Chains A and B, each alone.
Chain A
Amino acid sequence: MSDPIPAVQARSLSKHYGEGNTYVLALKEATFQIHPGEVVALLGPSGSGKSTLLTILGLINPPDTGWLQVGGVEVIRDGAVVGDANLIRRRNLGFVFQRSNLIPFLTAEENVRLVLELDDVPRREAVRRAREILESLGVADRARHLPMQLSGGQQQRVAIARALIHEPSLLLADEPTASLDKELGRRVMELLRTAAIERGAAVLVVTHDHRALDLVDRIFEIEDGVLDTEGAKLRGATR
């Protein structure tokens, strides 16, 4: 029986900033794969290259070199984005941030279904799916509230709903628990894990929070732009 198709497959992704004396190699030949339903933590000190990897995977900044496939679709070849980056983001990628980053003038439900409507999903269908996912994340009763009327935990659940409603192949989470207390942070990580398994999305969580590492399947470590996909330093401490 052959292995399932990886949700994300990256080969030799490299990125540098600056020239001459200011030259910094932020990411060196990063090669990895993440499978559907798998939750991976990306750990590393400030300036180690976490954000660089995240922006490359989010198709915000292209790498200098390398190849990337998301959901079985080639999105980066020889360091260049293949096709419409906006379309790929709309359909294949989901984002969760440290702050919820909800659009302040949209209600919780509108924030969630916006992702579908941006991709021309009919309004009725978008509303149905938004209510369904808000229900599953326990914030259906706050659907008509604006973000400022929600607690921090509720906002983060709505953000997770927005990141998952279009069933992306890869969910990128940047410090999703940093602004939450321990209990709520753990709850959010559980939600991410459950949602990833149920919806078959690969999740890459950038985090400094070691308390929830028992909820991830694998740990990637990055330092000075070098990615260690074995997570050797922490594996023993968390498992």
Chain B
Amino acid sequence: MNLSLRDVRHDFSRFLLTAVGLGLLLTVVLAMTGIYNGIIKDATALPDSLGADLWIVQRDTRGPFAELSRVSSDLEERARAVPGVARARSYVSHTIQRQLPNGRPLRFTAVGLSWPDDLGGGLPIVRGRPLAQPHYECLVDSSLGLSLGQRIPLGRDVYTVVGITDGLLASGGDPSAFFTLSDAQRIQNDVSNEAIRLDREARSARVRQSALGRDPELVRFSGKNAQLIPALGPLPVSAVMLNIDPGVPLDTVQARLQGWQDITVYSQAEEHGLILGGVVEKTRLQIGLFRGLLVVISAILMGLIIYTMTVDKIHSIALLKLLGARMTVILGMILEEALLLGGIAYVLAVIIGNFAFDIFPRRVVIENEHRLALLGIVIAISIASSAIGMKKALAADPNEVLAA
């Protein structure tokens, strides 16, 4: 005769309600795990989708994801000339927050792709097409909530959404939007007319006050568009991405490039390490601690629940002892109830998670291994908490039955 099942059956609604409460707590534990995994996946999704073998960044920086990096745009041409390099692309990215005409805030990380070498065809586009024009088109992540064909005013220009990607978020959790490199730089450096005029006036004044001011042609040029002044050079980019010829050792090309004094070169794996060790580390620790705290809270709550359930039937336990029940029968009943409670709570947590996590603002990634890990934790908690009930049961005195 299974005493635990009969005890549960006796007051099933109370037992179920307790299991639901515990299940919700375990859902939060599962959510914490999923959010942690989502942060890692989000942080690495963008560099992974761009498919570079090596990243060239500003010397002694850990860019372009973990830290700001600025390198000359002509670095792309220099790198392309290195033996073993099959493809070189410039990369720029910056996070912006604007407002749509309807008042809705729009926050995303603008990523510049080298036109016409990189049209975004390697990105996970789920609707629409890659970029087809050098200007005024963009690809946006589905989490941004924009639709195909939608027009977004950014700075002085209006950009049309031509493709929707899926799951491409920056390490901060903001959705990514992809433009041609020049458009991304234009958006990044967009300033008001007044700011441009003031900048040109200041530049002309600096030229006039120096020896260069003796040349009227130079003075005239200094007040024009900065991009037209050869001495000022083009705008910098965040990094240059390289792909290596098949069969050429990555280390060889990386070592050769490391010899250049103005840059630092990271492999894709090293970029992963920089992102996870720097950008995500504190978040990871914080969520890990929070998750640990929740597990402890769950264990304490479950211990109290099992203790209360044991106290509720302490008279029956004393009676069982008087009737000559083996201790294994009594302790088994308490353990089985704890495992049953934990099991139902676990199943509820998994089911609730399957429905609820999709509507979380941040990505929640739960794999089978995480579900199994939680199951292991639940079993451990159940056994530990049943020990509290068992201790109470061991102390139950058959004399209580005679005294009642």
| A interface, CB within 8 angstroms of B | 51, 54-55, 58, 60-61, 85-91, 93, 95, 97-99, 101, 103-106, 110, 113-115, 117-119, 123, 146, 174
Contacts and interface: CB of A to CB of B under 8 A. Distances in A.
Interface of B: 1, 3, 6-7, 9-11, 313, 315-316, 319-326, 329, 398-399, 401-404
A60 B398 contact: yes
Contacts of A60: 322, 398-399, 402
Contacts, number: 74
B1 A95 contact: no
Contact of A118 (B6, B10, B323): B323
Given A99-B404, A110-B1, A113-B1, A105 B7 contact: yes
B367 to A, nearest CB: 40
A106 B316 CA distance: 10
A101 B398 CA distance: 12
Given A113-B1, A114-B1, A117-B1, A106 B324 contact: no
A97 B401 contact: yes
Contact of B402 (A54, A103, A104, A106): A54
Contact of B10 (A58, A98, A104): A104
B1 A101 contact: no
Contacts of B398: 58, 60
Contact of B323 (A51, A54, A95, A174): A95
A110 B324 CA distance: 16
14 contacts: A58-B322, A60-B398, A60-B402, A85-B324, A87-B324, A91-B324, A101-B319, A103-B319, A103-B320, A104-B316, A105-B3, A105-B6, A113-B1, A115-B324
A61 B403 CA distance: 13
A105 B324 contact: no
Nearest to B11: A105
Contact of B399 (A55, A106, A115): A55
A54 B399 CA distance: 10
Contacts of A61: 399
Contact of B1 (A86, A123, A174): A123
A106 B403 CA distance: 22
- Interface pairs A-B: 6 shortest CB-CB: A90-B324, A105-B10, A89-B324, A86-B324, A105-B7, A103-B316
Given A104-B10, A105-B11, 7 more contacts: A55-B402, A60-B399, A88-B324, A105-B3, A115-B323, A118-B324, A123-B1
Given A86-B324, A89-B324, A99-B404, A118 B329 contact: yes
Contacts of A54: 402
Contacts of B402: 51, 54-55, 58, 60, 97, 174
Nearest to A87: B324
Contacts of B324: 85-91, 93, 115, 118-119
A91 B323 CA distance: 9
Contacts of A104: 10, 316
A72 B319 CA distance: 26
A86 B326 contact: yes
A94 to B, nearest CB: 9
Contacts of B7: 105
A152 to B, nearest CB: 15
Contacts of B403: 51
A105 B322 contact: no
B404 A101 contact: yes
